[in-house]
Amino acid sequence: MRNRLLLPDRHPVGDFFVLDNLFDVSLKSDVSLLRSDVASLEHPIFKLSSRKGDKEKLERYEHGDYYIELRAGPEGFATIFDKDIWYYAISNLIRRQNNMEAIGQTIRIMVHDLMKFTNRDPSGDGYDRLEAAVDRLAGTRVKTNIPTGGVVDEVTNFGLIESYKYPRRKNGAKRSDYLELVLPKWLLNAIEGKDVLTMNMKYFNIRKAIHRQIYEIVCKHCGYQENWKIGLELLKKKCGSSQANKHFISYIRELEGNDVLPDYEVTLERNNMVLFTKRPTKSAKKDATSPALASGPSPQPVKATTSGERKILISSDAIERAKVWAPRWDIGAIEQQYIARAHNLETAFDEDARFVAWVKSVYKGNTPP
């Protein structure tokens, strides 16, 4: 029986996804990891609804010394679902960066592959909604003092997309082959500074906006910990929700005992605290080591492939646990290096455990060059 809180897999067959730069439209890349900048996970830069009637409305969010001012465009605020486009762009740029390729604010993405990656509806209506999404991203302005990529003591004003364009097909249909986007420098700083986190691809199956926002916050704060707790009021603030507590609580209740949030179980405690607990994995039971994997810390970008009939997969839980031992390294490049080395070894009883143990043995106490 299908979980009503989850979207179906609209593209169940795996495929590669494409990023083309402006000068090489034939370039294709395998994108299998969902990446996000850290700042937009923790703070409500993307709204829960577009609220088209709020055009030009200004909203302000403050937390500690940081603030965000959001001004809606003609089509309303950019939403958490519109952020899918950011996710795809970030994931592609990180892949290119790991392959030592130059990256910049302007990228060209293939629309069909974007639809697959983000589990979007590939119908004609789906393309119309995608165009509305980029309109909201281009229309929403952000003013903030939240730093990215080590750039501090700056107030930045930017659009969530500075501009975009796409070709119309000759027959006049609205479906386009690609989107050319100009991303804000604020986001590029985060990517270049490795201010990114890896998330579970099942994120795109989450149906409700509030549940997606909650999952993003948990990914940022729980990390490698077995559990994380937050007060109901603070969680609601971080979600950017203005609804009454009783309504917000009902959304939390939906998550209790329900397999909705990837990797996490949710419990609403009596004192209005919300507890997030990582679901157990094999790697939580045993950390195996492999001397054959030991080598100096020099992650080189290597394409992840299969070894014979064996496909090596590292869970998002193991990725987060490994970050403890390599906090300033590019964990994506490290994962690729591990996969390339593991091809020459026998199948591990617990691949996640062996990966974490290897990262610890190689990168603990070392800093990037």
Q: Which of 244, 278, 312 lies at the terminal end of a domain, its last residue?
A: 278
Q: Report if residue 33 sits inside a domain.
A: yes
CATH number (domain holding residue 243): 1.10.10.10
Q: Same domain for 187 and 226?
A: no
Domain stops at, among 161, 184, 205: 205
Residue 180 lies in a domain: yes
Domain assignment of residue 302, yes or no: yes
Joined tokens for residue 50: 């577009």
Number of domains within the chain? 3
| Same domain (yes/no): 299, 350 | yes
Residue 61 within any structural domain of the chain: yes
Find the mean pLDDT for residues 330-336: 83
Residues 226 and 101 in one domain: no
Query: Of the spans 33-42, 202-211, 317-326, 329-338, which averages the highest pLDDT?
Result: 202-211
pLDDT on residue 292:
42
d(CA 261, CA 317) in angstroms, rounded, equals 13
Structural domain including 78 reads 19-205
Q: How confident is the model at residue 173 (pLDDT cuts 50, 70, 90)?
A: low
Does residue 133 sit within a domain? yes
Residue 3 lies in a domain: no
Tens digit of each residue's pLDDT (9 = 90 or more) over 257-286: 888 999 999 999 988 999 999 887 654 444
Same domain, 153 and 51: yes
Q: Which residue has the tokens 């119908």?
A: 123
Task: Give me the chain's average pLDDT, please.
Answer: 82
Same structural domain for residues 241 and 335?
no
8 occurs within a structural domain: no
**198 and 213 together in one domain:** no
Q: What's the pLDDT band for 330 if we cut at 50, 70, 90? A: confident
Query: For the residues of 143-160, what is the DSSP string, one character each?
Result: EE---BTTB-S--EEEES
The answer to whether residue 6 sits within a structural domain is no
Chain segment 97-143, per-residue pLDDT in tens: 888 889 999 999 999 899 999 999 888 788 889 999 999 999 999 99
**265 and 164 within one domain:** no
Q: Which helix (H) or strand (E) holds 94?
A: helix 83-98
Q: Are residues 193 and 320 in the same domain?
A: no
| Domain endpoint, select from 278, 305, 320 | 278
Do 306 and 246 belong to one domain? no
Q: Are residues 186 and 251 in the same domain?
A: no
Residues 242 and 288 both lie in one domain: no
Q: Check whether residue 193 and residue 247 sit in a common domain.
A: no
Measure the CA–CA gap between 331 and 96, rounded to whole angstroms.
14
- The backbone torsions φ and ψ at residue 274, rounded to the nearest 5 degrees and listed phi first, read -110, 125
